[in-house]
Chain A
């Protein structure tokens, strides 16, 4: 795919959001949201139900107006006067594919090709369908397709206009593992073509696998960074030591440089909090060998993005109790 919209970003960030707030009457959906997304980045947007993810996407897609704050979308200020221009440069795939079920796959795409004013629509439709492996289904009515195939048609629709930014709202929701893997492949392909992807998802492993950076939202922005950064920020670095028998004097064994503290975990063995796993692990290994311990394993404890998410979101749940 050649990206007609790429020059519109001219090297600047794809998205700049500053103090964006949305209220529906008394209810605050999103509050004081600020972040930026670089061009070509795959940006994960995570949060529990009702956190304001979809509201944020709708604001950035000019569907709903923010109550306050500002944003720059694909190089254009988020103002009513720029709505059509912004929408020309972006594509949104809502959680519900939103296809005309009585029309064929090709007719659905023809409609959107007409709305985007594409010069040679049939060629673009063919390319978009090939990209989602639906080249042979152009004549099928959308009502006859499975949920996974409909999701792929919706993805083809977002690819039609060579957008600079693609907003994907739960793109793998309800898909089987094979279809999910295909969608992931497509997202990787978009990244390869320099398209900025704004991905909202509940699937934390998906975000961890695909996203350069993730933001965790729960009405307000709770945290933002690369998945490994977030882990380091929230969790101390730990080594887990398993031995065949309990150590006689663990306080002496673990009194080595780099180990800040330790505790016994009935399930895993000894859990050591360290400053840096790379320097502490050899020291601990030497100390264990010197103490004559039968070591079964010594490994760095890896916290997943899910741990980060649960830590942050659980805090919010606790706070609201």
Chain B
């Protein structure tokens, strides 16, 4: 693994995204949508509201805020491989001395950085606004330590998972739009998990948050490895599958690298 090559991919990706109008607009509009709804909902809760009523509203908003790191990354991640193939840039890149795992890691980091910045920004704008202007009962639930910790820990890990799912779909999809739609849909599987936390069906606690975060981290590492295996240059360039012997050889190489 060469950090220099990974850094080169990250730098190029970030430069390319910044000049891609579709990506810039999507990244700008989605957070605004996710900001308005929680603010309006939580500011309308009166100080006299009952505990269950507040917890239910905050749960719905927490769910919404945890959707941000799930829906934003696929916009970029799903484009990463199939987009390069469509614009004819994948072949020159693959002729450079770059391992697929380095290429994919660089792309994942490049998708991760803006996604996580936006997700945290949205969350903290909501949380600080609640603290300053909403009813105390609402603020107390939002600023509950395990709830905060869960948001802070799970946001990057959920984003990473969504990114690997997006890149995985991108390595197999035939079209950028299809990849983006499938990646967003696939990322929503995490809604079930986040719902359990948001509605406190699983009571958030610090050990539970850390345990679940570690499990998610392990899943992210496994996802990176699996997606690297799914990445088949032959299929992407020539439109055919690598013969079985070549796949075996690549696996052997991976095993050697690990050793």
Contacts and interface: CB of A to CB of B under 8 A. Distances in A.
Interface string A86-99: 01101111101111
Contacts of B19: 102-103
Contact of B15 (A79, A90, A103): A103
Contacts of B250: 80
A24 B245 CA distance: 14
A290 interface: no
Interface in A81-132: 81, 84-85, 87-88, 90-94, 96-103, 107, 110-117
Interface residues of A, number: 40
Contacts of A67: 243
B2 A117 contact: yes
B96 interface: yes
Interface in B1-29: 2, 4-5, 7-9, 11-12, 15-16, 19-20
B234 A65 contact: yes
Interface stretch (B84-92, B147-155, B198-206): B84-92
Nearest to B236: A63
A112 B93 CA distance: 8
Interface residues of B, number: 39
A63 B89 contact: no
Contacts of A136: none
Contacts of A92: 91-92, 95
Contact of B249 (A81, A99, A100): A81
A272 interface: no
Contacts of B87: 98, 100-101
Contacts of B234: 63-65
A183 B97 CA distance: 25
Nearest to B103: A115
B144 interface: no
A102 B20 CA distance: 8
B95 A91 contact: yes
B246 A80 contact: yes
B230 interface: no
Describe A's contact surface by its main secondary structure.
mixed
A65 B256 contact: no
B99 interface: yes
A16 to B, nearest CB: 20
B88 A117 contact: no
Contact of A96 (B2, B7, B16, B91): B91
A103 B16 contact: yes
B91 A65 contact: no
A157 interface: yes
Contacts of B253: 80-81
B98 interface: yes
A63 B85 CA distance: 14
Contact of A116 (B92, B94, B96, B240): B96
A63 B237 contact: yes
Contacts of B233: 63-64
A98 B88 contact: yes
Given A81-B253, A91-B95, A115-B97, A64 B5 contact: no
Given A98-B92, A112-B96, A115-B97, 6 more contacts: A63-B94, A80-B249, A98-B91, A115-B5, A115-B93, A117-B97
Interface of B: 2, 4-5, 7-9, 11-12, 15-16, 19-20, 87-99, 233-234, 237-238, 240, 242-243, 245-246, 249-250, 252-253, 256
**Which 3 A-B pairs have CB atoms at the shortest separation, nearest pair first?**
A114-B8, A65-B246, A102-B19
19 contacts: A24-B240, A55-B238, A63-B95, A64-B234, A65-B249, A80-B253, A94-B95, A97-B92, A101-B87, A102-B19, A102-B20, A110-B8, A110-B12, A111-B9, A114-B11, A116-B97, A117-B4, A117-B5, A154-B92
